[in-house]
Amino acid sequence: EPEVTQTPSHQVTQMGQEVILRCVPISNHLYFYWYRQILGQKVEFLVSFYNNEISEKSEIFDDQFSVERPDGSNFTLKIRSTKLEDSAMYFCASKRLTYEQYFGPGTRLTVT
Amino acid sequence: SQQGEEDPQALSIQEGENATMNCSYKTSINNLQWYRQNSGRGLVHLILIRSNEREKHSGRLRVTLDTSKKSSSLLITASRAADTASYFCATLGYSTLTFGKGTMLLVSP
């Protein structure tokens, strides 16, 4: 069964560094999402992406964040200058046309 | 903003017992979905109930939705140790999912 994959599974970075989190959505899906989950807290929506552009973003998704679909398979989340409070699990999700979003296993980002 | 808020925060039961988790939200929704998350893993979609539906079944799962009370419940019947996980409700408004904090379910053998 096809699934969403994410790399790396764990990323440790120093404050102020740039990180790129990678996702490979399910191949025939059209809508792509990033969520984050700070330890012990809710899963929070960051951004949705459709037809090669951002369709919606939350207040969390400020100028430090960007997304890209550089080729036909990858979907990336870049954080330009990481802060301690960016430490969280980051989940990628994708869907085709129905409501159900398929989530990846997540990337744990630790900012020191 | 709309929110899914689950209760209880944690639930501990024995194998074979039923587990009921509740979710409340604040604004009108398109549908409500339940997800499961095993420790340190991704979210797995369990079941979706549309705003015009009142009850839905899938295997050992039963979901109810009361839009007048803005609440939903997830019932897992005949629980198994493998059901141990966190369970989240998520509401879909226009296009994005809003998750609650989740209920941590522990099923002991």
Around Cβ B3, how many Cβ atoms within 10 Å?
16
How much is the pLDDT for A40? 83
Q: Among residues of chain B, what percentage have pLDDT more than 90?
A: 68
What does the pLDDT profile of chain A (112 residues) look like in tens digits?
Answer: 788 999 999 999 999 999 999 999 999 999 999 999 998 888 999 999 999 999 999 999 999 999 999 887 899 999 999 999 999 999 999 998 877 889 999 999 999 9
A42 vs B102: CB contact, 8 Å cut-off? yes
Report, as an integer, the average pLDDT of B9-19. Answer: 95
Chain A nearest-CA residue for B33: A100
> In chain B, positions 20-59, which contact chain A (CB-CB < 8 Å)?
30-31, 33, 35, 40-45, 48
Long-range contacts of A44-49 (CB under 8 A, 24+ apart): A44/B99, A45/B96, A45/B97, A45/B98, A46/A77, A46/A90, A47/A77, A48/B95, A48/B96, A49/A75
